Chains A and B, each alone.
Chain A
Amino acid sequence: DGGITQSPKYLFRKEGQNVTLSCEQNLNHDAMYWYRQDPGQGLRLIYYSQIVNDFQKGDIAEGYSVSREKKESFPLTVTSAQKNPTAFYLCASRTGQGIFNTIYFGEGSWLTVV
């Protein structure tokens, strides 16, 4: 089945550690996105990539980094510089641009700082 796979589902980070969240899609979508969601709130854009080897900062990029070496993969690294990383992280991809563009989401990853 086509879709977006995020792993791990749950991740615990110690203070000062970097952690990487995986996002893989087999939908052949060019554009991929990372969002952060805090309890009871909407989604905030961290980074997005329209094509391979290119990505742009979203609204809350500080303390995060990404790479886009393959069309199918868009991993997110939460660095030690991110002071409040505990949140639900959602990866998404988009069918295309223009009026027919539709966004699809993975099941999310929970990150907790311990």
Chain B
Amino acid sequence: KQEVTQIPAALSVPEGENLVLNCSFTDSAIYNLQWFRQDPGKGLTSLLLIQSSQREQTSGRLNASLDKSSGRSTLYIAASQPGDSATYLCAANTNAGKSTFGDGTTLTVKP
């Protein structure tokens, strides 16, 4: 059974700092890995999707990497801003259309 772990559970940084969020998964037989942002009381918004054959994806200040062999993905946020404060979740997606989610990392960026 796939298990997804996100470390740390919470992170607080000053504005402008670069930071890395971690996601690990136990079953490397994934089709892709997806990173989401969730604001309090809201649904999930997709940030980046990395196919199993890719090593990384970039969107603006966000860069996600994937290492299937080690079962790890990272989300790098450059020059963090207070508006980046949210919970970030990763999901490992299989070919059967099932997703396994981590518990998320709650990020606070202080002005």
Interface residues of A (CB under 8 A from B): 4, 6, 31, 33, 35, 40-43, 45, 48, 50, 88, 90, 92, 94, 97-108, 110
Scan B59-92; emit 1 where CB is below 8 A from any A CB, else 0.
0000000000000000000000000000001010
Contact size range, B:
20 to 34
Q: Are B53 and A99 in contact (CB under 8 A)?
A: yes
Contacts of B99 in A (CB 8 A): 33, 45, 103
Chain B residues within an 8 Å CB radius of A102: 34, 46, 49
Known: A42-B89, A90-B43, A107-B42. A99 touches B103 (CB 8 A): no
Q: Can you list 16 A-B contacts with CB-CB less than 8 angstroms, sorted by A residue number? A: A6-B43, A40-B103, A42-B104, A45-B99, A50-B97, A90-B44, A94-B97, A99-B53, A100-B32, A100-B51, A104-B46, A105-B36, A105-B43, A107-B42, A107-B43, A110-B41
* B31 near A98: Cβ-Cβ < 8 Å: yes
A94, chain B: closest CB distance, angstroms:
6
* B contact set with A: CB distance below 8 Å: 4, 31-32, 34, 36, 41-46, 49, 51-53, 89, 91, 93, 95-99, 101-104
Assembled-state Cα–Cα distance A48/B96 (Å): 12
Q: Is the CB of A108 within 8 A of B42?
A: yes
- Report Cα–Cα, A110/B89, bound state, in Å: 19
Distance (whole angstroms) from the CB of A43 to the closest CB of chain B: 4
Q: Are A101 and B42 in contact (CB under 8 A)?
A: no
B97: A residues at CB distance < 8 A: 31, 48, 50, 94, 97, 101
With A97-B96, A99-B52 known to touch, is A106 a contact of B43 (CB < 8 Å)?
Answer: yes
Contact in complex: B102, A42 (CB < 8 Å): yes
Bound-complex Cα distance A82 to B102 (A):
24
Contact A101 B43 (CB under 8 A): no
Contact A103 B31 (CB under 8 A): no
> B93's closest neighbor in chain A, by CB?
A101
Residue of chain A at shortest CB distance from B106: A40
